[in-house]
Chain A
Amino acid sequence: AQTVTQSQPEMSVQEAETVTLSCTYDTSESDYYLFWYKQPPSRQMILVIRQEAYKQQNATENRFSVNFQKAAKSFSLKISDSQLGDAAMYFCAYRSAWEIGNQFYFGTGTSLTVIP
């Protein structure tokens, strides 16, 4: 099984500021996908952004962007112009391109607090 590590259990950011959440993973595969999910207090898991390992260009979705460093096996999430609604638990996830079952491997999460 692959391992995903989120070394920051908790982070905080001032409203309108930028914050970066870290994620590293361990794999011997060359083809895979990486995701960031958001889990607000409602506990509903919401897909924030995804990245294909074969793409060198970093994915961007509005205020959310990633810094994907394949050689370093690093996949950080940057949230710009933070809003109160961004407060949530954020999970980094890995998915093999070839593994039967397509299961995701999740990190332990980073709890983000947005300070007004």
Chain B
Amino acid sequence: DTGVSQNPRHKITKRGQNVTFRCDPISEHNRLYWYRQTLGQGPEFLTYFQNEAQLEKSRLLSDRFSAERPKGSFSTLEIQRTEQGDSAMYLCASSLLTENTEAFFGQGTRLTVV
């Protein structure tokens, strides 16, 4: 297993377009997290899944954002009608179910909205 994988690594899109990112977690990990990071800031929590259930969503996740994890394996994050303010690094992480376990992050998807 090569760790958490995110695709694409980079995405440039025009304002108003829809984009979708994919995250493949470490295979036995039950939990999957999405974070967003802008320049000079720490990652901000967006949402997380336990298996296929979406258990928590941040208020940052507006109605233009939707995340799925249909079979409890990979996850997708879709942004509809992108805005310039959506430009950021989108990070995915995964961990086991137990509390005292490490979270492992992917390399992120860099989104630029022009």
Indicate, yes or no, whether A interacts with B.
Answer: no
